[in-house]
Amino acid sequence: MEDRIGGLPDSLLFHILSFLQTKDVVATCMLSKRWRHLWRLPSKLHFDDRSFPSVEFFVQFIDAALRLVRLNSVQMFVLKCERFSVLEVEVNVWVNALTNYKLTYLKLHFRRQLILLPSSFFIYNTVSVLKLTGFVLVNLSPVDLPSLKALHLKNVKFSNSKCIARLLSYCLHLEELVLKGLKVRFEFEHREDECARFEHLLFADVPAFLFPMEVFSNVQFIYLRQL
């Protein structure tokens, strides 16, 4: 039988593989010599612990993938931990490795635990979409997110309300902001001059009373919720 898929150009094969989890990409590429080099050049790395029999295998697979793939090819990184609890030190190793990638999309999701992010995490010149679930954020310094246009924070614990204000003050080009299930200790009520103005924001799903409404004056759609 003629291998029509194998005859497709690499650019189209990469596009097809981008819809698969990284574990499935590796397995698929082993089926043909024509495909075997492709898994090292992914545009997207996608890891989901529900596809692995144990946390040990899950961690080992991610460690190996981050060592073997070519850094300059990866633009999207997705990590979902729904079943297992991963050691914080392992997560920090992965997070530090990601700084070598020129990512445009970064999603980290932890359902069963809260991970303390290193204070230097928020330095990504190229990331335009950042989605975090299940983290603790303390002493954010420094922050450099010049390309960020979409920020989603869910089930995130902040050391205090100033921490949120500091983070958002560096997100000057946000078009989409989603804040859900935040855990915050409020030390004071934010004044308008202490908060970032979202001049480019189109969509906001945020807790009520977290910020003065004046900072959302240019938003086209806003949904206010309880913390």
- Taking domain 43-225, whether its CATH number is 2.60.40 is answered by no
The pTM score is 0.84
pLDDT of residue 1: 45
pLDDT in tens, the chain (227 residues): 445 565 666 666 666 666 667 777 666 656 666 666 666 667 789 999 999 999 999 999 999 889 888 877 889 999 999 999 999 999 999 998 888 889 999 999 999 899 998 877 898 999 999 999 999 987 777 889 999 999 999 999 988 878 888 888 888 899 999 999 988 876 545 555 455 678 889 999 998 777 777 777 788 899 888 75
84 Cβ contact partners less than 8 Å away, ≥ 6 residues apart: 49, 52, 54, 55, 58, 112
